[in-house]
Amino acid sequence: MQQHTLAGEITQIGVGLHSGVSTQVRILPAEAGSGRYFVRVDLLDLPIIPAQVAAVSHTVLSTQLGKGEVAVRTVEHLLAALSGMGVDNARIEIDGPEVPLLDGSASVWTANIAQVGLVSQPVNNQVTKVITEPIWVYQGDAFVCALPAPETRFSYGIDFDLPAIGNQWHSWSVTTELKKASASFAAQIAPARTFGLLHQIEHLQKTGLIKGGSLDNALVCGPEGWLNPPLRFANEPVRHKILDLVGDLSLLGTFPIAHFLAYKASHNLHIQLAQRILDFGF
């Protein structure tokens, strides 16, 4: 069984969605078995924050990881890109509190990863875990679950009153061949951008959120339709929800073989499912 890390260094600078703060991210190769982890290089003791379920400290409109008083927010798009492209081990150096939103998708990250390439790392005793019984988390009519399946698949449904979004479903499967899986992720899921609802923006801004949001890095939908078309896919919003789910479940380290199915879920429910999976011993 092999793991993979980057064959070179990646650097990006951008503004965080919620903080509005500009940060620089450097992603470096890491040793086999070290996993994906963040390093706050702007702080004196260079604290390390592992990209693991146990480190999740906040899940309101993004996923935040923390260790003590130190945190890094909106990690889901970058982590989705790393896991979706097959990067098991990576040192992510960041000089601020939030990962840059860039264009609102994971396309910049996947393009960077494809450009530098991967190197294989032999490791011992790596066993792919298999979900053998349904595991559910729900709140009202929203739910996310892991179902026994012959291959790893992510399926998502959303339902909004706004006609431009409405009810959407999408499904994406992870092939066992790394190059095909990463190409599929880069083409079908990574380009889907984050989206927001026009009537919620003022409230979110008043509560100190989305300070870095703009029509350049997020799709915005109102009663009359999209404020900043065109969409990259007809169902771009639900594909972005799969992107978020992949990023959140990447905190498990590796994806168990299962069908991950979600409907109207959230970062909070995603993380609850990840914790339940760990509680079941997977």
The catalytic site residues sit at 267
On whether 77 is known to bind a ligand per the annotation, the reply is yes
From CA 279, how far away is CA 282, in angstroms rounded? 7
Q: At what angle do helices 236-249 and 76-84 cross, to 10 degrees?
A: 80
Could you give the strand order of the β-sheet that contains 195-197, starting from the edge strand earlier in sequence?
A: 195-197, 219-222, 225-226
List the end-to-end C-alpha distance of the chain, in Å, as a whole number.
18
On whether 244 is known to bind a ligand per the annotation, the reply is yes
Binding-site positions for Zn(2+) read: 77, 240, 244
